[in-house]
Amino acid sequence: MRPVVLTPGEREQPAWIPADTLREVRERAAEGATVLVRLPAPLDAALAAAAVYRRAGAGVFVTEHADQVRLALEMTDCLSGTRPPALTRRGLA
């Protein structure tokens, strides 16, 4: 499942289950639920939290930094092997 990134004013689906801790995210994701996480306001904290929560199984993120978080989630998925990279280059020296 591709991650969904929302800004604080956007509408959430009733089927999404909110989680506040990493343990809750893992448990709910293991049950097969779509887990919603609200990220902290500072950009660096939001990016770090998004990567960790995505790795734990969260699928929906609410943040003020939607574009930056979306890129961080795509990178996390690429590094996890669940999404192919958008662009690959072979460096020749």
Q: What is the pLDDT of residues 29-60, one digit of tens each?
A: 999 999 999 999 999 999 999 999 999 999 99
pLDDT at 93: 64
Secondary structure class of 66 (helix, strand, coil) = helix
Mean pLDDT, range 61-69, rounded to an integer:
97
Q: For position 85, what pLDDT does the model report? A: 80
Query: Residue 52 corresponds to which tokens in the numbers above?
Result: 């960790």
Sequence ranges of the domains in the chain: 4-8+17-80
pLDDT band at 70 (very low <50, low <70, confident <90, very high): very high
Nearest Cα residue to 50 out of 64, 33, 37, 41: 37
Would you state the pLDDT for residue 18?
Answer: 96
State the pLDDT at residue 88. Answer: 80
Q: Which residues of 3-33 are buried (b: 16+ CB within 10 A; e: fewer)?
A: bbbbeeeeeeeeebbebeebebbbebbeeeb
Average pLDDT over residues 71-76: 94
